[in-house]
Structure 1
Amino acid sequence: MTELTTEPPTEPLLSVRDLVKRFPVRGGTVDAVSAVSFTIDRGQTLGLVGESGCGKSTTGRAVLRLPPPDAGEVRFDGRDLATLDRAALRATRGRLQMIFQDPRSALNPRRRVRDIVGEGLAIAGLPKDEIATRVDAALTEVGLDPAQVGNRRPAEFSGGQCQRIAIARAMIVGPDLLVCDEPVASLDVSVQAQVLNLLEDMKAGHGLAMLFISHDLAVVHNVSDRIAVMYLGRIVETGDAASVFGSPAHPYTRALLAAVPDPEAPPAGPALTGEVPSPMNPPSGCRFRTRCPLAEPVCAQRTPALREVGADHAAACHFA
């Protein structure tokens, strides 16, 4: 008898193509996210990095349809989320979870920790005794004692403890993809490492894929397998972490790295000057050209497309 073998899935767990998210403003609309594309494989972490206001968080929320994008395609495990009916989308939501920047505002201040963590299971209709068992296990896994924290409310905990509760709430439903929106930005430096280590443990123990959103390059470098650099609503460079940090191809990426203080390393390039242009009136052509030391007339005339500059490394620059 011929032995049957099961081939591992080759399609990315998450595939985002030409994502667009607009918001109404007086006199028209503004594109917060413009034609963003990326993929995340199973068990992989993609770090999405850029200055504040570049559209990182909006991208993460649009992927989860919070709210849904205005154009583009988001495929999760081979299925286009936009084509799922309400029941199918609800059944899929447990596999895609989000951790927010401010853990205090992300937790209902009036509910007990036990109820907050188990809410997803309660919505799914699981028996109360099973929910209680799984809540205890989830809190223990994130380093909290269920007996001590279960009946208390979020206001009684520190920011780091609240973020652990938020992680337990996300993990209890068994997600395959975790969107982390600046998960350590509001925490003390001493607590940041603990939360990052916890996320790494969750990734290794559960085979998680993560979209890790941050403006902190040092954090992104430590946790990411691949990097996507975003500027004013568009991805300008993407590749594996070693290539992007070791050989940055886009002048914006080089400027971001130059801004990171490292007394043992020479600057990666000239520091950023000027302010980010308004997304309501972005520059023509390359959106970075108004701050770029390499800008030429062609940069105002043509929008550079992402093109390969190395193995698994692409940049949207005419001179990359």
Structure 2
Amino acid sequence: MKTNPGRFFEDYRMGEVIAHAVPRTVSGGERALYHALYPARHALHSSDEFARACGLPAAPIDDLAAFHVVFGKTVPDISLNAVANLGYAEGRWLKPVYTGDTLRAESTVIGLKENSNGKSGVVWVGTRGINQHGETVLEYVRWVMVRKGDTSSPAPDPVIPKLAASVAPDGLVVPEGLDFSNYDFGLAGEPHRWGDYQVGETIDHVDGVTIEEAEHMLATRLWQNTAKVHFDATFREDGKRLIYGGHVISMARALSFNGLANAQMIVALNGGAHANPCFAGDTVKAWTEVLDKAETSAPGVGALRLRLVATKGGEPFALRGEDGKYLPEVLLDLDYWALIPR
């Protein structure tokens, strides 16, 4: 058999290291398409000259674009037969990705637990994105619910990894040379700096974007994400193609420009949950809560820990019901660190 049906839950083994195909060289096309798909306009990722004024050699591609490239590499081996991607933790961006860099991905199985229905299980993997020099540019943990191919196969001994609640401030990696001492707030689009944000503050990003099938299909193909739930309308009982969760993340991050235009670089992903499915026709809006603040050793650079929530309607700043569960209109709950001028 030459075709690949994808891995099922029973095919994973604890400690297994999976080298993912296919390496990908990043071009300016990634940036252009990313900015076409989302209202992304953070200055550091948009302008080589702005980035050079901030101490970098050129504008890196958007941090989430780099994430999507690496994530897409892992899908054929990790989530081709997934029911859903459940969450993220311990993510760190370690080096900027520039046009001309070639990225590949490698994952290690760090947890397994069969579900009580015996038809699926949860797989935890730690993934690294690696450039052409063998340097790790980003790393993260995610966990996925995967179907069983053979429901009679025995359940593995359950192993649930202990994951950090967040990346500590001293674990944040500031890109070499980054300097916000002479940051141009006029060109960036907003005057707000690190000291203007307070822990506990909430920000309604106001704008919304209605998701369409065409843009979702383009995005999922761009990142070479082959998960069946995103492409095959017959794969779900409701006959709907599930919108790739990363598409919702990038849409919400782009919408957050209105109020967080100077949160220029994502450097850590503390946690994240795709709370409810997103489908074509849903209108995505976003709001943010400031969770924490930290100083860095880089000149003029501070860090904000932010909770980014994407919704499909409802009132801003509403997250969970009285039962403690996410409200049905909440699509995404993402906890991340971003760098901002002080």
**TM-score, scaled relative to structure 1:** 0.22
More strand as a share of residues: 2
More helix as a share of residues: 1
